[in-house]
Amino acid sequence: MSRQTVVLLGASNVTFGWRHLISALRIGLSAPLDIFAAGGLGRSYLGPSRFAHRSLPGILDSQIWNALKANSETQTRPVALVTDLGNDLVYGCSSDDVVQAANQSIERLREFRADIDIVLTRPPRESVDSLSPRRFRFFASVLFPFRRMELPDIQNATAELDDRVVELARRLNVAVVKPELDWYGLDPIHIRRACRVEAFCRMAEQWDAWNASQSEQRRVAASVALPIPHQRTAFGRSITTPQPSRQYRNADIHAY
């Protein structure tokens, strides 16, 4: 049977929702899956990111692009999800920087396969706009404790990025998905556990390969562990992990 290549680019929503995301892929994509993922808590597209004791390279600097080139002979039309673009705003990047990173990611995906079916998600603009100063201060201190941010600046930057992402999707003829406000709870940027399968299915149903007839299944895969990135630094030590780092009956998972 032909295998389906899936590329996942993102950050903490990919990590927190990993089991839900894999469940969504199994719901709507029937072929055995080759999943290539670049995610991680606090992950940046543009530069190295650190969370607790580990750091990861920026998505654009990771080895996922070389891994995709080695997999370019896949027979089925590949699919890709590009999400979690707002993190780099917190790291001080401008909306122009972030859109350029998204543009470059899409160009590289199309270099891998010109016919790749790409879905781009907009930042959670409505959720960020709904923040009160008190709730913003709390979550900023929890999620990004070493970053000094002001709520109006983040709201304005998110709104500008949202407009730019919509324009980029139109210009590059890429499907774009708007996050629903009710996907989020007190946490303004991470999709609620109860909404994750629904949210990921909403994103993935933009792919031509998606099988809508299976979309009413909602069982979350309990046995899917987070993949281990190919290259990471932990406690100051560089660690390389051969890929795929997880293999299941119907899915091989490569992480970068």
Span 8-44, pLDDT tens digits: 999 999 999 999 999 889 889 988 999 999 999 989 9
- pTM, entire model: 0.93
Instruction: Place 144 in a pLDDT band, splitting at 50, 70 and 90.
Output: confident
For 91-133, what is each residue's pLDDT tens digit?
889 999 999 999 999 999 999 999 999 999 999 999 999 999 8
Instruction: Place 220 in a pLDDT band, splitting at 50, 70 and 90.
Output: low
Q: Do the Cβ atoms of 82 and 168 come closer than 8 Å?
A: no
Percent of the chain with pLDDT over 70: 94
pLDDT at 71: 85
